A = this chain, B = another copy of it.
Amino acid sequence: MFKAIVNAETLGAALDAVGVLVDECKVHLEEEGLRIRAVDPANVGMVDMELDASAFESYEADGELVGVNLARLEDIASMADSGQLVQMELDEETRKLHIQIDGLEYTLALIDPDSIREEPDIPDLDLPAEIVLEGRNIDRAVTAADMVSDHIALGVDETDELFYVDAEGDTDDVHFELGQEDLISLTPGPAHSLFSLDYLKDMNKAIPKDTEVTVELGEEFPVKMHFEIAEGQGHVTFMLAPRIQSQ
């Protein structure tokens, strides 16, 4: 069984974090909360999203696994006005999710979870550098890099204690540096990896501009980005595989 009531914005933020990478996903309706893990079709970008039971107005679940069309569910959540509540209830017989927003009832057909891409194992990497910064700085870096290139290098300058972003285009280059005073915190370590900008742009869409984002980096290793949603009662981890360095 699954029966829950949640603020529309909270639900929206949780779904958006996954929806930037995949169209459909498996949703674990655990006793402690809702959990989604997904990887994009090319196996490059992964997301792990947890929304604790405490983020809901009311929440009851016992471990069901359902398959969901994310775009559809995001559209439904967006029908709610700011601050409105969304009620969800699983009909186990018909495999449909009943969603109520005020007088509006939406019956969403679920997808067979077996027909959805396997969930990824997000590796528990021990990455040497950790940068904590505001979401708006990720947005700034991604927007600037996008002007010149389709890939982006993220790194740490251990000597000067800087987090930097490099993008090299055919004629123009972008370099973006954030020192201790621009960052919330920095744990320097050997770190420089190249990433596909397309994925970072998608992930960036789901990162609130005013949120603290923890970025973990290594040398030619994946980048991990963590941030909280639902006032700390939800958590998102993005992981992005590196591109082979062209030089």
A-side residues, CB < 8 A to B, are 72, 75-76, 79, 103-109, 140, 143-144, 147-148, 171-179, 182
Judging by beta carbons under 8 Å apart, are B105 and A176 in contact?
yes
Judging by beta carbons under 8 Å apart, are B182 and A107 in contact?
no
Judging by beta carbons under 8 Å apart, are A105 and B174 in contact?
yes
Task: Name A167's closest neighbour in chain B (CB-CB).
Answer: B106
Complex Cα distance A133/B147, Å? 38
Judging by beta carbons under 8 Å apart, are B144 and A107 in contact?
no
Complex Cα distance A148/B75, Å? 11
Complex Cα distance A75/B174, Å? 13
Judging by beta carbons under 8 Å apart, are B104 and A172 in contact?
no
Q: Which of B103, B105, B106, B143 contacts A79 (CB 8 A)?
A: B143
Complex Cα distance A149/B235, Å? 35
Judging by beta carbons under 8 Å apart, are A105 and B177 in contact?
yes
Q: Please give me the 6 A-B residue pairs with the lowest Cβ-Cβ distance, nearest first.
A: A109-B171, A107-B173, A105-B175, A104-B176, A103-B177, A108-B172
Complex Cα distance A143/B101, Å? 13
Chain B residues lying within 8 Å of A178, measured Cβ to Cβ, are 103
CB distance from A122 to the nearest CB of B (A): 30
Chain B residues lying within 8 Å of A172, measured Cβ to Cβ, are 72, 106-109
Complex Cα distance A139/B147, Å? 31
Chain B residues lying within 8 Å of A177, measured Cβ to Cβ, are 103, 105
Judging by beta carbons under 8 Å apart, are A79 and B173 in contact?
no
Chain B residues lying within 8 Å of A144, measured Cβ to Cβ, are 79, 104, 106
Judging by beta carbons under 8 Å apart, are A75 and B147 in contact?
yes
Chain B residues lying within 8 Å of A179, measured Cβ to Cβ, are 103
Q: List 8 A-B contacts (CB under 8 A).
A: A72-B172, A75-B147, A103-B178, A106-B148, A106-B172, A106-B174, A107-B173, A109-B172
Complex Cα distance A117/B144, Å? 29
CB distance from A193 to the nearest CB of B (A): 20
Interface contacts beyond A79-B147, A103-B176, A106-B172: sample of 11 additional A-B pairs, CB < 8 Å, sorted by A: A72-B172, A79-B143, A79-B144, A103-B179, A103-B182, A104-B175, A104-B176, A105-B174, A106-B147, A107-B172, A107-B173
Task: Name A163's closest neighbour in chain B (CB-CB).
Answer: B103
